Structure 1
Amino acid sequence: MLEYLPNEVLLEILHRLPVKSLIQFRCVSKSYNSLITSPAFIKSSYTRSPSDSNKLIVRYLDVKSHVERYKLIHEDNDNNDSSSSEQIPDLEFPLRSSSWDYFQLVGSANGLFCLHEGKHFILWNPCIRKFITLPNPSFIDLFPRYLAVGFDLRTDDYKVARIAGNIRYEGAKPPLVLVEVYSVSEGSWRVTNGGDSYPPRITISNWHPQAAYLNGAVYFAANDWGDAQSSIVLSFDLGDEVFRLISLPNGKFGLDADIGTSVFNGLLSLICYGNQHLSIVKSCSVWVMKEDGVVDSWTKQFTIELNMLRWKVLGFLKNDHVLVQKIKSHGSKLLSYDPESQQVKNLGFYRSTYYSYADNYARNLTLLDKPNDVVSKRKVSKKRKCR
């Protein structure tokens, strides 16, 4: 009877199914497999499906076994018992680093994670338990290297950007920057002209080098060593592949400001730590840009007052609460902080000391149409057995 269903009705049914069922339905027929793995269906499935607004995916390094792990945390968990999160099973991460205790995390975009180890890059979609291994980039020996992952709104394509070259401050000497972009749809790296637009006297922060992704661009915390002598935000548009500068509130953030970029409630935000003394962070303020590209729209959203030893902000929950990591010598505790009531709730999770990361868990079928653990094209055609 399914053969007689109008196509729009069939699509509506499929969009309402859980991901596990969609994967199983690929085996019904070749036509079903072709439909579910089509780029159009994968795109519409993400945009039309209700988001898992009460789930976060948290990455941490298990300090005892030296293995990186991923766990789902439910935001509406009212149990303050630190052992409660241990009852939630880990998401199985399919790889283990060959030379280090963990992979370096580039970041995530719409639930798609990017990790790397030296010249090896991995894209992993925990929603469908699938990953691909990217081919080696063209240039691998240039330093420093900065990385970012995001979604190109113009081409509906996920991309990984690598920025390398002479981008340290060297007086009036212009930077020599190379930018290479990997495209999921093309399956290859491409050296772009993006380095031509890299502004002089700008360096990306080494304290918070991880870029935030928002609306087709990635955003780095950076420093302006020119006349301004202040912190600044450097963006890279994944569509036109051009660098742009976003100024911060005048006089608020000098070169020594401890800031990082993030996304709060769909807006570009800054996580700004106050002065530290003996590893005690007195406070942390969160600024948001209310209007895209309008410097005067920067607004201090709230200030977090947690007089604790060694803590940092991991991200923001859907209910506008803040996810905080309290770091101790033998592990860390996840806390949910309510800026309005200033109440702190214990979310458990007491293992990792460093390298923690959190993002919203998203229903995303990206990579469903690709063989698992495949080395993409560009001088490499070898395929590995699926794990």
Structure 2
Amino acid sequence: NLHYDVKPLNIPFSRDDHNPVQIQGYCNGIVCLIEGDNVLLCNPSTREFRLLPNSCLLVPHPQGKFELETTFHGMGFGYDCKAKEYKVVQIIENCEYSDDEQTYQHCIAYPYTAEVYTTAANFWKEIKIDISSSIHPYPFSVYSKGFCYWFATDGKECILSFDLGDEIFHKIQLPSKIESDFQFCGLFLYNESITSYCCH
């Protein structure tokens, strides 16, 4: 029979806004957690935590009409084997609205921006992200061997990758579908390889 002990882990999030705590990624026993705009690195075995400084690109939540608003916030977490340090990368899309309806049809999107946090420097820095606004990555990434991968769409499914060493984004085409009525739905790690699963 499987037996295990459960011990509480007190995560130092304020929870004032009652945002859910989500696991954003994990690598070498380190877990990346988010709660609202807060990002935390956690080692459950040693019970060590590091609350990351505030983002340099996320805009405050709008208090009125016509204010800039963050409409997409994607994140990746992994280990840079060259620099021998952990990194967190954020992809951010901000927008403003053309009238007071504040609906998707009236949203004017700005180009994507990106930033990287390194555990050695302990701050965020803005980096170049040269991807088309037609590419829509999913918020959560998969980490493997120094790269973060996001399932994405640009009219058809693709993969957006980020090299944690060179800090460069790349677009990867998915293979041809076996059957036309199948579609790629997401990514996961299988036998140390990035794998996409299909569905009808």
Distance across 2 between alignment mates of 1:152 and 1:182: 11
Aligned counterpart, 1:159? 87
Judge conservation of contact 2:74–2:91 (CA < 8 Å) in 1.
yes
Shift of 1:102: 3.6
Residue 261 (str. 1) matches residue 177 (str. 2) = no
Given residue 143 of structure 1, which amino acid in structure 2 is its aligned partner? T
Shift of 1:135: 1.0
What secondary structure, in the 3-state scheme, does the structure 2 residue paired with 1:144 have?
Answer: strand
Residue 247 (str. 1) matches residue 173 (str. 2) = yes
Q: Looking at CA atoms only, which structure, 1 or 2, has the larger radius of gyration? A: 1
CA gap 1:218/1:255 in 2 versus in 1, 3 angstroms: farther
Q: Larger helix proportion, structure 1 or 2?
A: 1
Judge conservation of contact 2:112–2:131 (CA < 8 Å) in 1.
yes
Given residue 152 of structure 2, which amino acid in structure 1 is its aligned partner? A
Give the counterpart of 2:196 among 257, 270, 277.
270
User: Structure 1 stretches (4+) deviating beyond 4 angstroms?
Assistant: 252-256
Distance across 2 between alignment mates of 1:116 and 1:210: 11
CA gap 1:267/1:183 in 2 versus in 1, 3 angstroms: same
Distance across 1 between alignment mates of 2:181 and 2:56: 33
CA gap 1:264/1:255 in 2 versus in 1, 3 angstroms: same
Given residue 58 of structure 2, which amino acid in structure 1 is its aligned partner? I
Distance across 1 between alignment mates of 2:36 and 2:174: 33
Q: Percent identity?
A: 28
Residue 145 (str. 1) matches residue 63 (str. 2) = no
Aligned counterpart, 1:375? none
Judge conservation of contact 1:181–1:190 (CA < 8 Å) in 2.
yes
What secondary structure, in the 3-state scheme, does the structure 1 residue paired with 2:71 have?
Answer: coil
Judge conservation of contact 1:175–1:198 (CA < 8 Å) in 2.
no
Aligned counterpart, 2:122? 187
CA gap 1:110/1:174 in 2 versus in 1, 3 angstroms: same
CA RMSD in angstroms comes to 2.8
Aligned counterpart, 2:67? none
Q: Which runs of 5+ in 1 are unaligned?
A: 1-78, 276-387
What pairs up with 1:114-133 in 2 under 5 angstroms?
114-133=32-51
Judge conservation of contact 1:224–1:255 (CA < 8 Å) in 2.
no
Shift of 1:96: 6.2
Aligned counterpart, 2:28? 110
Residue 92 (str. 1) matches residue 18 (str. 2) = no
Judge conservation of contact 2:157–2:184 (CA < 8 Å) in 1.
no
What secondary structure, in the 3-state scheme, does the structure 2 residue paired with 1:179 have?
Answer: strand
Shift of 1:247: 1.2
What secondary structure, in the 3-state scheme, does the structure 2 residue paired with 1:210 have?
Answer: coil
Cα distance per residue 1:275-294 (max 9 Å; x no partner): 3xxxxxxxxxxxxxxxxxxx
Distance across 1 between alignment mates of 2:183 and 2:94: 23
Q: Which runs of 5+ in 2 are unaligned?
A: 60-69, 96-104
Judge conservation of contact 1:231–1:253 (CA < 8 Å) in 2.
no
What secondary structure, in the 3-state scheme, does the structure 2 residue paired with 1:90 have?
Answer: coil
CA gap 1:232/1:253 in 2 versus in 1, 3 angstroms: farther
CA gap 1:146/1:243 in 2 versus in 1, 3 angstroms: same
If the length of structure 1 is used for normalisation, what is the TM-score? 0.42
Q: Larger strand proportion, structure 1 or 2?
A: 2
Distance across 1 between alignment mates of 2:157 and 2:178: 9
Given residue 246 of structure 1, which amino acid in structure 2 is its aligned partner? I
Tell me the matched-pair count. 177
Aligned counterpart, 2:134? 201
Judge conservation of contact 1:91–1:126 (CA < 8 Å) in 2.
no
Cα distance per residue 1:111-168 (max 9 Å; x no partner): 211111122111001122211111111122222110111111221110111110269x
Aligned counterpart, 1:223? 153
Distance across 2 between alignment mates of 1:180 and 1:246: 21
Distance across 1 between alignment mates of 2:142 and 2:54: 24
Distance across 2 between alignment mates of 1:125 and 1:147: 19
Judge conservation of contact 2:177–2:183 (CA < 8 Å) in 1.
no
Cα distance per residue 1:333-387 (max 9 Å; x no partner): xxxxxxxxxxxxxxxxxxxxxxxxxxxxxxxxxxxxxxxxxxxxxxxxxxxxxxx
What secondary structure, in the 3-state scheme, does the structure 2 residue paired with 1:159 have?
Answer: strand
CA gap 1:96/1:188 in 2 versus in 1, 3 angstroms: closer
Q: Which has the higher contact order (CA 8 A, sep 6+)?
A: 1
Distance across 2 between alignment mates of 1:165 and 1:270: 25
Distance across 2 between alignment mates of 1:254 and 1:180: 37
